[in-house]
Amino acid sequence: MILASGSAGTSEQIDTLLLPKGPTRPALTLRRARSGGCANRATLTEFASLPGLFSRHGLVKIFRGNRRGIQVGQSSGARGLTGRFSRAALLLSASALCLGALAHPVHAQTVENSLFVSIYGGYLFNETDANVDFNDSDDKLGGLNSLSPGNDGHQIGGAIGVPLSERMDFRVALTSESFVDDDDSIEDYSKVGSFAEANSHFSLRYLDLELGYRPGMVETGHLRLFAGARVLNAFNSIDYNTYDPGITDKIGNYEAETETWGVGPRIGAEGGFQFGNSGVSLFLMGAGSAIFSHVDQSYSATVNGVSTSSDDSDSRTVYSLEGKVALGYDVTRSINFQIGYQAQQWWNLVQTFDNVGSDEAPDFDGTDDFLTHGPFARITIKLP
């Protein structure tokens, strides 16, 4: 907001009052015409440079003029009403505009305030401990090292947002994460072709449904609160094989796997902050969920051509916390690009496979936590 000031004339009046569009609030431009008919533009002064413009009770202080220019005065009776009527009208008009701007703040607009689609992806570092332990006493598999639910992996996903009102919106996002298999093998060099091997695979997908609400805007950014549901699907499997061409009971193929389906509430908040008119912004997001899940467990083995299998099921509550921080850039008025870093911690998500051996199914009794983090990129496109 700005105020015009300049040398006083004998009779000044407002000729033009302009409000050019600014990034987050209007700028006030004043033009005055002196009695002699010679028009000149007023000097612009930031309201921020005039401390005490508003009283502690929100009342506008009266301005008074002299022959050198416009000065801030005290609202102390007739003393504050010195100066010509036209100048007082000018200043009071400007003050009224200021109060109106404060009472009705201009909301910072972002691409995601409108109908939009976005695509994102990233690299994930898998920090999860081993969840597959082999029976040390097993003469066929006991020499294998413990395995984790996959190694590092990647993430890919997409989202769409629909505005419901000035402050509310609805979003749907689908994310898929896959991880490189973790594996190990041993070979008996005393017997040609004799070996044992195992690998562990893990992947997950989740669908987020959000109802968002913006309680208000700061001058250079926004705050959004959201609540909704998360639908989760996770798959974890281990495959292990033994082979010794000289001893038939060492020829076996084994598989144990679990698949998790669940749904539960998810809440969070996100905020964006603009860096002036540069088009660069800072983005922050945090969320948590509790997912009530059903787990199917299965085991199958084929040893010397004879197959066996078993199935079981379990239920558990899976919890998660996630956070993101990113820098964004407005490529155009309709396209925003972000690059940042994210982390997500899951509890009770991963199945543990204990006492894995060649004679019977492993134990499916335990669970483990799952932690990933890594860089990501996202592009958001505003739709007409």
**Domain extent listing, the chain:** 2-103, 111-382
Mean pLDDT of 101-110: 41
At 270, list the tokens. 């996100």
At 212, list the tokens. 């968002």
Angle at 220 between CA 216 and CA 226, to 5 degrees: 40
> Does residue 297 carry a pLDDT above 70?
yes
Mean pLDDT of 264-272: 96
Q: CATH fold of 111-382, please?
A: Porin (2.40.160)
Q: How far is CA 110 from CA 4, 224, 284, 359, in A?
A: 31, 12, 14, 61
> Does residue 334 carry a pLDDT above 90?
yes
Question: Could you identify the residue written with the tokens 């910072």?
Answer: 108
The pLDDT tens digits of the residues spanning 124-145 come to 999 998 999 998 888 778 889 9
- Judging by beta carbons within 10 Å of its beta carbon (0-12, 13-18, 19+), is residue 276 exposed, middle or buried? exposed
Identity of the residue numbered 23: P
- H/E element, 95: helix 85-103
Identity of the residue numbered 1: M
Of 232, 234, 338, give the one whose Cα is nearest residue 285: 338
> Does residue 99 carry a pLDDT above 90?
no
